[in-house]
Chains A and B, each alone.
Chain A
Amino acid sequence: MGTRWTKAAAMAVLLGVVAACSPGTAGGSGSTEDQGGPVTLKVWGWRQEDVAAYKKIFKLYEDKHPGVTVEYVPYKNTEYDTILKTGLTGTNGPDVAQLRSYGLLQPLAAAGSLVELDSTVPELKEFSSDVLDGARSDRDQKVYGVPFAIQTMHVIYNKDIYAKHGLSVPTTWAEMTAGFDKLKAAGVVPVAATVTDTWMLPIQQEIFGATRYGGIEQRDRMLRGEGKFTDEAWVASIGTWLSTKPYWEPQATGVGYDDAKAQFASGKAATFPGGVWEVAGFKTANPQLNIGVFNAPPAPDAVSQKTLVPGFVDGSFGVSSKTSNQAAALELVRWMAGAEFGQAFTDELQQISPVPGVTPKGEVLAQAVKDYAANPSPYLTYAYFSAGTPGAWDLASKELSNAVLGKVTPAQAAASIQRGVDQWFKPKS
């Protein structure tokens, strides 16, 4: 059969003369029709656990806008980016979509998949510039989404377990680790760390390491080009985080996100270092759980002597440039920039709304907002160094995983991140 393969290959190449078909030629923004009749707006998102809440929230909107139906269509968190990327490129996509913030937003904005909102959503002028950073395109400095949530990161703890062992919220690093020691001796896993789902690693590094590298000041130095990930303080912050390793589950290297959450929710672990967005899920999984949040006090040799609270803009709602209901979609995102949506969002979903003037009702959330407002710290790799390829967040996920496993030293991990970022990052003068 030998030569036949060659012939077949030749034939395949011949057929190939048909060549290039270019995607993305059709489409465009057809916003002309559907002004009068009933409209269904599809809102895509990555929060499958929030479907019921969004139904309630959008009911408020539907009641005031007869003829408009708003449907929240969620996808699996880890697959959402893929699905959205393909969804925004053509037919059958969303009208409005939850967009990731900062770096992950950039390819979508650059591809022209989204409608620019500066001119059409005047409500955005009320938002702070830091918050709008999360929805801004690096290329044209325009805003492409209405931010819907600020996420803060904490050591989420089980109040009952802490009380049972006579522990209170630590005010110093030593007090925190002494508490962990006591829990460990009592047979409780002190820290439910996630290791195999590597996207959780930069989060945990911020939670325990932010004070060590100093937060906002380091960010500003790095944005100006005066600082790097390889700076002593940032490298050391990895070590600070890793110094909590003795308090993780003995075989933590095999523990994934779902397992770690189950450990905390079932009361086997005393704390879960993670985002405030987990709180609602913990309460659903175990309604008896008595949850509180604290933040890691300044670590040994910390650059910042404040108890920093890392936070970031989680995402925004943007309008697809391919939607056939552009006017209705813009109307909806304008509403999302207002107080009615903001309050409903924070009440129903127990998350922090960035809409000015909205305050959360829950005790945990209120405290998170208060602490964050007092001592904010950036989510450095994710928010500010992931606009190019490769992004610092991807690199950090990978390298911090290597560091946990002992395959690289913190210095090598930082060097790898910096090497990747150096290929595209240009300091802001």
Chain B
Amino acid sequence: MTAAASVPPARIQPVRRPSTARSVGVQLLLCAYAVVAFGPILLVLIGSFRSNSDLLGQPIGLPGSAGLTNYARAWQTASLSTYFLNSALVSVASVALCVGLASMLAYGLSRWRFRGGAVLAAYVIAGLMIPAKLGLLPVFYMFESAGLIDSRLGLVLLYAAGGIPFSVFVLMGFLRGVPPELEEAALIDGANEWRIFRSVVLPLMRPAVAAVTVFQFAPIWNDFFYPLVLIRSDEKYTIPVGLTRFIGEYAADRGALFAGLVLALAPLVLVFVFATKQIVAGLTAGIGR
């Protein structure tokens, strides 16, 4: 974007030593927002350990009245494990396909000059502003004639394509900051384009690729709209659609409902806790630029 922020991010020390009172105030403020951010999740977590009648009688309370029975009920009856597997399968495959294709595309667009290259770049990046979901009906009929309705492959293709503009945008931004010397050296050594891409460029792009991967993952994992319309069979549902079914069936059983929500949230939270670093790094590399 602009050159303003292209200086590598320096580790900034606090500019001014804040007074103790002020520091305490700041910590209080941060903790207050932490309660807002995490409180609702905590309520669900606690609720998942309470019995249904307890929950209906007393919305706020301590865990314990139900032990793990809610979890047992939710897990056994809701085929959450199937939904999990589907979400994992679809998300991993889409992100892999998306990042693979986007890396190639970003590399081609930033390192090779060819006629129409600039237009192609603009054409792809314009996708960032396109509300792709408005193409749902045509996608539906296209999939219909291609036999991709009720197919996880169809979802993977859609998600991968939908993620390309963002990935290309971030990866091109990253490549702009990487000098092409290494690639030129490899070219002189007689390596072909594919080899250069695989053994030189991809390893170079690793931080940005990691960031893009993490960023694409959550929205795909969470998407509700496409599987709602494109997936039919229960055994192919992803977590969000599966959960709406679960919510419909368990509307009266709040305990099991909360347990189901916790089960659905847990894996992503784990991924995220370990990946904050990548997210921050990726933002610095791509968007912040």
Contacts and interface: CB of A to CB of B under 8 A. Distances in A.
- Asked whether the complex places CB atoms of A and B closer than 8 A, the reply is yes
Interface of A: 1, 4-5, 7-9, 11-12, 21, 23-26, 48-49, 73, 75-79, 82-83, 86-87, 89-93, 258, 261-262, 265-266, 281, 285
Contact of B123 (A11, A24, A281): A11
Contacts of A1: 122
Given A82-B228, A265-B252, A8 B126 contact: yes
B149 A258 contact: no
A83 B228 CA distance: 8
Contacts of B145: 21, 23, 25-26
Contacts of B119: 4, 7-8, 11
Contacts of A90: 144, 149
5 contacts: A4-B121, A4-B122, A90-B144, A258-B252, A285-B252
Interface in B138-157: 138, 140-142, 144-145, 147, 149-150
Contacts of A48: 245, 248-249
B81 interface: no
B144 A12 contact: no
CB-CB nearest 6 A-B residue pairs? A23-B141, A4-B122, A258-B251, A8-B123, A8-B122, A76-B248
Given A23-B141, A75-B245, A76-B245, A266 B122 contact: no
A100 to B, nearest CB: 17
B206 interface: no
Contacts of B147: 91
B187 interface: no
Interface in B219-254: 228-229, 232-234, 244-245, 248-249, 251-252
Nearest to B55: A262
How many chain B residues sit at the interface, stated as a range, is: 20 to 34
B123 A73 contact: no
Nearest to B244: A76
Contacts of B229: 82-83, 86
Nearest to A44: B232
B244 A79 contact: yes
B200 interface: no
Interface of A is mostly: helix
A82 B234 CA distance: 16
A5 B228 contact: no
A86 B140 contact: yes
B114 to A, nearest CB: 15
A262 B56 contact: yes
Contacts of A82: 228-229
B53 interface: yes
B245 A5 contact: no
B149 A83 contact: no
B191 interface: no
Contact of B232 (A5, A87, A266, A285): A87
Contacts of B121: 4
Given A11-B123, A82-B229, A261 B251 contact: yes
B118 interface: yes
Given A48-B245, A86-B149, A265-B252, 17 more contacts: A4-B122, A7-B122, A8-B119, A8-B123, A21-B141, A23-B144, A75-B245, A76-B245, A79-B228, A82-B228, A91-B149, A91-B150, A92-B149, A92-B233, A261-B251, A262-B252, A266-B57
A76 B240 CA distance: 13
Contacts of A9: 126
A77 B126 contact: no
Nearest to A46: B248
Contact of B122 (A5, A23, A93): A5
Contacts of B56: 262, 266
A366 to B, nearest CB: 26
A58 to B, nearest CB: 17
Interface in B108-148: 118-119, 121-123, 126, 138, 140-142, 144-145, 147
Contacts of B228: 79, 82-83
Contact of A4 (B118, B140, B142, B232): B118
Contact of B249 (A7, A12, A21, A49): A49
A87 B228 CA distance: 12
Contacts of A262: 56, 251-252
Nearest to B57: A266
Contacts of B149: 86, 90-92
Nearest to B56: A266
A405 B228 CA distance: 32
Interface in B27-68: 53, 56-57
A61 to B, nearest CB: 22
A359 B133 CA distance: 49
B28 to A, nearest CB: 32
Interface string B89-122: 0000000000000000000000000000011011
Contacts of B150: 91-92
B50 to A, nearest CB: 15
Contacts of A285: 252
Nearest to A89: B144
Nearest to B232: A92
A90 B251 CA distance: 32
